[in-house]
Amino acid sequence: MPDYEIILQEIMLTDKHNKNCVDCDSCNVEYASCNIGVFLCARCASVHRKMGTHISKVISLNQVWNQSQVERMREVGNKKAKLKYEYRVPPCYRRPNSSDPQVLIEQWIRAKYERGEFTQTGRPNYISGHLEGFLMKRGKEDARYQPRKFILSEATDTLRYFVKESKEPKAIIRISDLNAVLAPKKMEHENSMQLTFMKDGSSRHIYLYHDEGEVIVNWYMAIRCAKLHRLQVAYPMQSECNLTDCLSNDFAKEGWILKTGPRPSDGYKMRWFSLDDVQRKLMYQVEPLGAFPKGEIFLGYKLDGFSIRVGAPIGAKDQGFSFTLTTPERVYNMSVSNNVERDDWIDCIQKVFEKPLTPQDSSLSARLIRKRTTSTSLFLGK
Ligand SMILES: [Zn+2]
């Protein structure tokens, strides 16, 4: 009797496409779907199992295999399966990798194998340029989630939401100015999304979720799609690949930092910091799900007076894990709970200082500075 496990190993080793998970590209391949004929990591295998054996039959590579199962893996494999199941992935679609949030991975897998979203000729609703429906939105004052109607219109470059459908929209947001982050860890809801946009010269955050993962991912992709189409009109010479890189950006880092106020007598205050490394903004607020940052620090280029280093500013007391952020306007005295966190913040912020400014960055800087001169308290922060 042939040793099917050895044949299976050969199928994996002789084709480089079979060395990574077919769905998230993780290099830790431990499972396979023996009817679809693809290799999987443990995380994606668990999503395959959830879909049911009528869609995917998951087996461990360490189990005993039979001839027909091994033949199926040889016949299909990751490369052929991708050609079939990812045939029509829209350019705006964010293909997940192994470090992405669960909702993105799960909906990608369900879209591929359960809904056949990328094999059909029909267009998914999120690429039509118009989407409307209800999402649960966190209240700015009372922090309670309430259903709100949202309407996205690519034609008018707007995302509107309504408290009462019969009344005027509560907010009209320009899609081009909008950043969407899917399921940030702080939200503690698997199917959640944070939207950030500029309002009166300051960032404004809103927090949303939906009970169904498919709905929240559809909204996320719809925002990306509308942004892509508008960018394609604005920058017709740019390659699609360059444009899809800037449709949404996850925070490079978030967490609590102790910081002092602008005066030497100011005590330390705990603030929640979010680093947007693409927009070069370091925002801080009183609580993680705040509506407005208490302050926003524009992170410029290192040769223009921006720097960061280990230790407290000269003359200030070191809190143990202090670091000093210097901008042309102010020196920030910051501290975190351990050296790993401190080094990680310094590393992430230093990377932004290393990148020269683009014309868009300068325009954001000007908008932030304009705001600061009109409303000192908001932009210098407390
Ligand atoms: Zn995977």
Output the pLDDT for position 351: 97
Same domain, 207 and 149: yes
Same domain, 196 and 307: no
End of a domain among 244, 274, 306?
A: 244
Distance in Å, CA 55 to ligand 1 centroid: 17
Output the pLDDT for position 61: 93
Residue 71 in domain: yes
Tokens of 308: 């960061």
Distance in Å, CA 54 to ligand 1 centroid: 20
Output the pLDDT for position 363: 65
Distance in Å, CA 25 to ligand 1 centroid: 6
Same domain, 295 and 358: yes
pLDDT tier at 9, thresholds 50, 70, 90: confident
What distance lies between CA 329 and its chain's CA centroid?
30
Output the pLDDT for position 122: 75
Residue 370 in domain: yes
Residue 117 in domain: no
CATH code for the domain of 18: 1.10.220.150
Distance in Å, CA 303 to ligand 1 centroid: 42
Q: Higher confidence at residue 139 or residue 380?
A: 139
Same domain, 135 and 228: yes
44-49 CB contacts, 8 Å cutoff, 24+ apart = 44/105, 44/109, 47/23, 47/105, 47/106, 47/109, 47/110, 48/109, 48/113
Answer yes or no: is pLDDT of 382 > 70. Answer: no
Distance in Å, CA 39 to ligand 1 centroid: 9
pLDDT tier at 49, thresholds 50, 70, 90: very high
The mean of the pLDDT values for the chain is 91
Answer yes or no: is pLDDT of 139 > 60. Answer: yes
Answer yes or no: is pLDDT of 175 > 90. Answer: yes
Distance in Å, CA 24 to ligand 1 centroid: 4
Residue 176 in domain: yes
Output the pLDDT for position 378: 40
Same domain, 162 and 62: no
Same domain, 257 and 362: yes
Answer yes or no: is pLDDT of 172 > 70. Answer: yes
Output the pLDDT for position 373: 41
pLDDT tier at 130, thresholds 50, 70, 90: very high
Radius of gyration of the chain (CA): 24
Residue 309 in domain: yes
Distance in Å, CA 98 to ligand 1 centroid: 6
Residue 151 in domain: yes
Tokens of 235: 């920058």
Amino acid identity of 132?
A: E
Three-state secondary structure along 49-82?
HHHCCCCCCEEECCCCCCHHHHHHHHHCHHHHHH
Q: Closest Cα partner for 228 from 250, 202, 246, 254?
A: 246
If one counts the domains in the chain, the total is 3
Answer yes or no: is pLDDT of 381 > 60. Answer: no
Distance between CA atoms of 103 and 356, rounded to whole angstroms? Answer: 34
Average pLDDT over residues 183-208: 93
Average pLDDT over residues 202-215: 96
Q: Identify the DSSP state of 16.
A: G
Distance in Å, CA 7 to ligand 1 centroid: 22
Distance in Å, CA 108 to ligand 1 centroid: 11
Same domain, 151 and 73: no
Distance between CA atoms of 253 and 184, rounded to whole angstroms? Answer: 11
End of a domain among 194, 214, 244?
A: 244
Answer yes or no: is pLDDT of 44 > 60. Answer: yes
Same domain, 137 and 217: yes
Tokens of 265: 């007598």
By residue count, the chain amounts to 382
Distance in Å, CA 49 to ligand 1 centroid: 13
pLDDT tier at 166, thresholds 50, 70, 90: confident
Least confident range from 27-31, 79-83, 259-263: namely 259-263
Model-wide pTM > 0.85: yes
What distance lies between CA 369 and its chain's CA centroid?
27
Distance in Å, CA 13 to ligand 1 centroid: 18
The b-or-e profile of 77-92 (16+ CB within 10 A means b, else e) is bbeebbeebbeebbeb
Same domain, 232 and 320: no
Distance in Å, CA 89 to ligand 1 centroid: 18
Distance in Å, CA 67 to ligand 1 centroid: 25
Supply the range of the domain harboring residue 284: 253-380
Output the pLDDT for position 364: 63
CATH code for the domain of 280: 2.30.29.30
Residue 372 in domain: yes
Match 């925070």 to its residue by tokens. Answer: 251
Answer yes or no: is pLDDT of 310 > 90. Answer: yes
Same domain, 235 and 264: no
Answer yes or no: is pLDDT of 277 > 80. Answer: yes
Same domain, 138 and 235: yes
Distance in Å, CA 40 to ligand 1 centroid: 5
Q: Please say whether the beta carbons of 153 and 161 come within 8 A.
A: no
Q: Please say whether the beta carbons of 154 and 173 come within 8 A.
A: no
Average pLDDT over residues 323-338: 94
Distance in Å, CA 63 to ligand 1 centroid: 19
Residue 257 in domain: yes
Model pLDDT for residues 232-247, shown as the tens digit of each residue: 998 888 888 888 988 9
Same domain, 214 and 271: no
Output the pLDDT for position 267: 82
pLDDT tier at 14, thresholds 50, 70, 90: confident
